[in-house]
Structure 1
Amino acid sequence: MGKVIYWMNASVDGYIADAGGGMDFADPAEDFQEAANDHVRRISAFLFGRRLYEAMEKPWTQDLGNEGAPALEREFARLYKETPRYVFSDTLQTVPEGVTLVRREDAVSTVTRLKREIDGTLQLGGPELAVSLLDLIDEFWVYSLPVIIGGGKPYLPVGTNLRLRLVEQRSLASGITFRRYVRP
């Protein structure tokens, strides 16, 4: 049976994007890119909300990872493109090859089916999608970047209340910390 992991990078104060929706504060250090590549090597599928999909798809399939890019970035782009991607959206009409479009109303049934069919890790991204699938999430991963941005889009929407148990924590040389939580 598959495992759903909600993974987002966040500021120390818990925001995945600043007040303007930008993620410029999340410029990854080399040690973070190594850790992210290691995680992505073990992912069976990406499950994205529309906004995160749009933030990831064009950069990693077209702009980044080209010949002149650093080796770690090229590897992440290759892994990203090789991994099946599901985008949950009611506004997108078409997606490129390698991406499956799922209507938001079908999110719970689709992810339930994927958990049954895929014996591996399903990496979920996007706070609104995550809260709609909260009961299906097995682990919560946070890479905390050493920056405070003072507001913006939180890791999960305001009002989400969930007790978790810390099962792993690591600090990278760049000051980024990784925390992995499960339900008690």
Structure 2
Amino acid sequence: MRKLIYPYGVSLDGYVNDRDGNIDWTDPDEELHQFHNDRFRELEISLHGRRMYELMAEYWPHIPEDASPIEREFAGLWTEKRKVVFSRTLTEVHWNSTLVGENAVEEVRRLKSEGDGVMEVGGANLAASLIPHGLIDEYQLFISPVVLGGGTPLFPPLDKRIQLRLAETRRFETVVMLRYVAD
């Protein structure tokens, strides 16, 4: 069965964006960007919510000419990677993407059962729809030293707790990564 990871930049107080939806505080330095490139290269499928897809599609296929080699590498990885985009409002997607308009939970269950590699979920709202169903196997939190005081929380309200086990910690220059696996 495919493993589903939820890798996300998060503020010290648990938000993935600020009250205005900004994520500018998550810009990776070169070391962290290379780590994400290497991690992304190993994925079979990247799952995107609508907002995450639109954000990524607005930038990565059209990066500026003066972009760094690491950014250019990620742009190629992102545009070529198989993506599944979950949206009820989009009518088309590009760059090796498939659009799914209904029942994200059932589609993710199906995708997990069709292989034995690794998928990631990108987008807090999409992840929030999957977390209560126990579909996330691993959480990779990239904790930034910023307190936002509000925004979109990393985790949705839950009816029951999720027991996790710390599998790895890693210190980067700008963030600390905590990797947790579901028991």
* 1:9-48 superposed matches below 5 A: 9-48=9-48
Which residue in the other structure is 1:86 paired with? 84
Counterpart Cα distance in 2 of 1:153 and 1:131: 10
The letter for the 2-side match of 1:28 is P
Counterpart Cα distance in 2 of 1:90 and 1:119: 28
Please say if 1:52 is aligned against 2:49: no
Please say if 1:156 is aligned against 2:162: no
- TM-score of the pair, normalised by structure 2: 0.91
Q: Secondary structure at the match of 2:13?
A: coil
- Are the equivalent residues in 2 in contact too, given 1:128–1:156 (CA < 8 A)? no
The letter for the 1-side match of 2:167 is V
Please say if 1:136 is aligned against 2:135: yes
- Are the equivalent residues in 2 in contact too, given 1:44–1:84 (CA < 8 A)? yes
C-alpha deviation, 1:97, in angstroms: 4.3
Counterpart Cα distance in 1 of 2:31 and 2:11: 17
Question: Which residue, 97, 110, 114 being the options, matches 1:113?
Answer: 110
Q: Percent identity?
A: 43
Which residue in the other structure is 1:70 paired with? 68
Q: Secondary structure at the match of 2:70?
A: helix
Q: Secondary structure at the match of 1:133?
A: helix
* Structure 1 gap segments, 5+ residues each: none
- Are the equivalent residues in 1 in contact too, given 2:2–2:118 (CA < 8 A)? yes
Q: How many residues align?
A: 180
Relative distance call for 1:61 and 1:137 in structure 2 (3 A) is same
- TM-score of the pair, normalised by structure 1: 0.91
The letter for the 2-side match of 1:136 is L
- Are the equivalent residues in 2 in contact too, given 1:44–1:118 (CA < 8 A)? no
C-alpha deviation, 1:31, in angstroms: 1.2
Counterpart Cα distance in 2 of 1:12 and 1:176: 10
Counterpart Cα distance in 2 of 1:67 and 1:55: 19
C-alpha deviation, 1:55, in angstroms: 1.4
Counterpart Cα distance in 2 of 1:72 and 1:89: 29
The letter for the 2-side match of 1:157 is P
Q: Secondary structure at the match of 1:28?
A: coil
* Structure 2 gap segments, 5+ residues each: none
- Are the equivalent residues in 2 in contact too, given 1:45–1:86 (CA < 8 A)? yes
